[in-house]
Structure 1
Amino acid sequence: MRFKSFFKNRQKHDDQEHTFPTELTKSLDQNMAILKQMLEEPNDLVIREFSLGQTSHRCAIVYIDGLADKRQINNHVMKNLQLFSEKDNMPYREDHVLLEMENALISVADIGKGHHLDDVTNRLLYGSALVYLDGINQALIIDANGWESRAIAEPVSESLIRGPREGFTENLRTNTMLIRRHIRDPNLRFQTYDIGRRSKKKLVVAYIEGIIHPDLIKEVNRRIESIDMDDAPESGFIEQWIEDSFLSPFPQLMNTERPDKVSAALLQGKVGIILDGTPFALTAPLTLGNTLQSPEDYYERWMIGSFLRALRYGAAFLAMFLPALYIALLSYHQGMVPSKLAFSIAATREGVPFPAAIEAAIMAFTMELLREAGARLPKTIGQTIGIVGGLVIGDAAVQAGIVSPIMVIVVAVTAIASFSIPSYSVAISFRLLRFGFMMAAALLGLYGIILVYIMINIHIVNLKSIGVPYSTPFSPSFFRDWKDLVLRAPLTMQTRRPSFLKSDDSKSVNKGDT
């Protein structure tokens, strides 16, 4: 009871202590006092007060050191105002002075006005500079962002042999610029949202008006407006909040570091979601066929692109089913194995103390440990751990008689196949499903594999991405879209946007990956 009273009184005290007016006042001193109290006078808060001219209009420039560009503030704001203060013929009324400052003195392109305390404080914490004038209950908001940002470089997680070498950065404006470089269409739209009750991060929803279906952008906007969290440090938070089913192992939005992928998705009639502070953008809706597509499929000739895509489908099959098939054939269906191969496998398994299911589980789990360790260690050491660790552990396990050589081959082929999947999120999903198939094979053999496969197909058919069926265009079938599904038809034959997106402008003179 004592603790409840303490927390109740503490909460009441905090509410009284942190109650601030919602709008700016006309007193410069009061505005500065409220701002200092709200931020508790941090060391990086810079407040420069001075007077303007013979009428002694008091003025203050406020910014956060490290977020705002001090050189821009000094050269284009402070210097101009100081020169203005030396003039004799200047207006006496405060509103005229503020208008003169906005229109004639401050040589910065992006200038706005704020009346509410929350608005100006949020812009201040985003890197803008504020100009207060005594006697006016509003402030000028100057876009003077100047924090350090990473240069444009090649994407780390999506490398290509042929294609653009530029990738998104953590700067939102840089990312929108990269998209505009790819799409010089006046119908390209960027809708901006503030995400996070505390962080107030900028989020941009990108789409092309006239191509996207209106219902799709309305649904995306509705889901984004429903986001209620303190902070969204990465686009994965947005993805998890607006996805259709959090119980599905499959990603329902595609994440990418490549501007060309986002641009291609927008040209197809999809939506791009870009969050400030992360190089990973999202595109939606996502279908099962998109998960195995790569931009390189379109940068190469159609025969090469079709071969590579078909190879990925085969790699996805091996990544999910190969260990389970090995377990089922050795444990329950030995008669399905050719005699010579069966004798060879039996010879290699002589002396192995574990059944095939335990043997496969040990090796698969060890491979996942090596992969995770290689990803968390520094880059140079991580590559060494992945290669040397796999060779040493595999050879030592075979020499000790714990696993058979054929099992090492099966796990190695499975790992290589999973590396062929373009999207990291999709590859993880297939790796999770692999263990489900292995358990089913250990219990029921091929019948268990078939049952799990049927369950996954039922789940995929019922799964949706922003309201669009995940299994499209397989089911519901859109046969016209099969020209860019497992195989890729020549670009000259792909003159229509995907039918399932119901684009307002269905004709497309170009085709791209999503």
Structure 2
Amino acid sequence: MARRLFKNKKKNQKEQAIHKNNENFSRNLKKDLSENLNDIRTMLDSPNDLVIREFHINEHTCAIVYIDGLSDTTTIEENVLKNLEVIERKDQLAEEENSNLLALIHEELISITGIQNVDTMDELSLSLLSGGSVFLLDGVDRVLLLDTKKWESRSIEEPVSESLIRGPREGFVENLRTNMVMIRRQLRDPNLHFKTHEIGRRSKKKLVVAYISGIIHPDILKEVNRRLEAIDTDDAPESGFIEQWIEDSFLSPFPQIENSERPDKAASALTQGKFAIILDGTPFVLIAPATIGGTFQSPEDYYERWLIGTLLRGLRYLAAFLTMFLPALYIALVSYHQGMIPSQLAFSIAATRQGVPFPAFIEALLMATTMELLREAGARLPKTIGQTIGIVGGLVIGEAAVSAGIVSPVMVIVVALTAVASFTIPQYSVAISFRLIRFGFMLAAAFLGLYGIILAYIMVNIHIVNLKSFGVPYSAPFAPTFFKDWNDLLLRVPVPMLNRRPKYLQPEDNKAGDREGKQV
């Protein structure tokens, strides 16, 4: 009983502290300049990078407040301070009342495009911490928020996670505005819209939903905005947080939202009737709704001729099956179904397995786990060292394991083929999912052989058929079947034949290039 009372008391104190903190931020500004400046210092705990410059325009006392490093000091000096110090306007400024003076400064003297007139400490603090500067005037309970943001950002470079042989070389960066501009450069459509959200109670990051009105289905757009508005977190440092908040099933091993660093891929998805989510501070843009067939598509499929694109796509489907099934098939055939192996191959496998102390399942599990460790180590180390560790480590460990009689040479070949096949899948998150499912198939093969593999495969298909991404079946257009969408699924037909948008997305304007489509 006492413990419960203590917990309730502690909870009430915590809620009161949060409520008091929110009141401090949401209260209105005061008319006295010195009190407002003291409140700003108290709110930020007087940091060393807080710059407060007070000055006078005749008998009027003013102040400019900004955070050094987040704001552009050149813009403040050239477009604000110099304009306010114009000598020929001082007589007119002296005759104005404080409230009229603030409006006059807003409309005529400050030559910055982005200016807001606000009256709360919450709006002031958000602008200040976002890189803006604040103009305060004594005797007025309102301030001007000036858009003077400027901080160091990475230049546009080639995407690291989605490199292509043929295609554009520019990728998204960590700056929200730059990413929006890159999409606008790809799509000069007046129906391209960006809806802004604010994510994070404390971080207050900007998030933008990009879509083309007249193409995207309204229900999909309504659902994504509803899910984004329901996010309740202190901070979202990367778009992966947003993905996990808004995905349909967090228990599924398959990603229900794609991510990409490529503006051309995002623009192409928008023209199909999908939406893109751009979060400030990350180069990875989320694209949805997603389908299992879309995970095998790459922008390079459309930049090469259709025969080459079809061949590459077929290789990816083959690689996906090898990634998931090859170790499991080896376990099942060696442990339970030796009669299904050709005689010469069976004798060869039996000879190589002579002296191996582990059953096929343990042998495959050891090698697959070792390969995953090498892959993860290579990804975390610097590039030059990581590639060396991945190649040399695999060769040395594989050769040493065979020489020691721990695993058979055939097992090394099987695991090597599986690892190479997993690299051909365009999306990293999807490749991880297939690698995870592979262990489940291996376990099923160890217990029931081929029957276990078949049962596990049926379970995976049942899960995929029941999975959805923002109301769109994840298995579409396989099931439900949309045969007209198959021309860009297993095959990649010639570009002139790709004249309709995917029917499973139910776009309002179904025909690509139709200028009579619905516009909003």
Flag whether TM exceeds 0.5 (same fold): yes
Classify the secondary structure of the residue corresponding to 2:415. helix
Determine the C-alpha separation between the residues in 1 that align with 2:454 and 2:11: 57
Amino acid at match of 1:67: L
Deviation at 1:95, TM superposition (A): 2.4
Aligned equivalent of 1:404 = 408
Matches within 5 A, 1:193-342: 193-342=197-346
Q: Do the aligned partners of 1:84 and 1:105 also contact (CA within 8 Å) in 2?
A: no
Amino acid at match of 1:194: E
Offset from partner CA, 1:222-261 (integer Å, 9 cap, x none): 0000000000000000000000000000000001111111
1:89 aligns to 2:89 (yes or no): no
Q: Do the aligned partners of 1:18 and 1:38 also contact (CA within 8 Å) in 2?
A: no
The sequence identity of aligned pairs, in percent, is 66
Aligned equivalent of 1:51 = 56
Classify the secondary structure of the residue corresponding to 1:250. coil
Classify the secondary structure of the residue corresponding to 2:320. helix
Deviation at 1:96, TM superposition (A): 2.0
**Aligned pair count?**
508
Residue 456 of structure 1 is aligned with which of 456, 460, 466? 460
1:123 aligns to 2:133 (yes or no): no
Amino acid at match of 2:293: G
Deviation at 1:167, TM superposition (A): 0.4
Classify the secondary structure of the residue corresponding to 2:293. helix
Amino acid at match of 2:149: N
Aligned equivalent of 2:30 = 25
Matches within 5 A, 1:120-199: 120-199=124-203
Bigger mean CA deviation after superposition, 133-142 or 291-300: 133-142
Deviation at 1:88, TM superposition (A): 1.5
1:72 aligns to 2:75 (yes or no): yes
Matches within 5 A, 1:362-401: 362-401=366-405
Q: Do the aligned partners of 1:204 and 1:275 also contact (CA within 8 Å) in 2?
A: yes
Amino acid at match of 1:493: M
| CA gap 1:362/1:85 in 2 versus in 1, 3 angstroms | farther
Q: TM-score, normalised by structure 1?
A: 0.96
Structure 2 residues without counterparts, runs of 5 or longer = 515-520
Determine the C-alpha separation between the residues in 1 that align with 2:461 and 2:87: 72
Deviation at 1:17, TM superposition (A): 7.4
Determine the C-alpha separation between the residues in 2 that align with 1:370 and 1:241: 31
Aligned equivalent of 1:40 = 45
Residue 354 of structure 1 is aligned with which of 355, 358, 371? 358
Deviation at 1:62, TM superposition (A): 0.8
Deviation at 1:410, TM superposition (A): 0.3
| CA gap 1:261/1:6 in 2 versus in 1, 3 angstroms | closer
Bigger mean CA deviation after superposition, 397-406 or 129-138: 129-138
Offset from partner CA, 1:55-110 (integer Å, 9 cap, x none): x1111111111111111111111221122686222341122211221222111121
Deviation at 1:509, TM superposition (A): 3.3
Q: Do the aligned partners of 1:240 and 1:246 also contact (CA within 8 Å) in 2?
A: yes
1:99 aligns to 2:103 (yes or no): yes
Bigger mean CA deviation after superposition, 31-40 or 320-329: 31-40
Determine the C-alpha separation between the residues in 2 that align with 1:444 and 1:35: 69
Q: TM-score, normalised by structure 2?
A: 0.95
CA RMSD of aligned residues (A): 1.7
Classify the secondary structure of the residue corresponding to 1:315. helix
Deviation at 1:7, TM superposition (A): 8.0
| CA gap 1:393/1:188 in 2 versus in 1, 3 angstroms | same
Structure 1 residues without counterparts, runs of 5 or longer = none
Deviation at 1:210, TM superposition (A): 1.1
Determine the C-alpha separation between the residues in 2 that align with 1:10 and 1:461: 46
Determine the C-alpha separation between the residues in 1 that align with 2:14 and 2:282: 37
Classify the secondary structure of the residue corresponding to 1:359. helix
Classify the secondary structure of the residue corresponding to 1:63. strand
Classify the secondary structure of the residue corresponding to 1:87. helix
Determine the C-alpha separation between the residues in 1 that align with 2:68 and 2:96: 32
Deviation at 1:23, TM superposition (A): 1.6
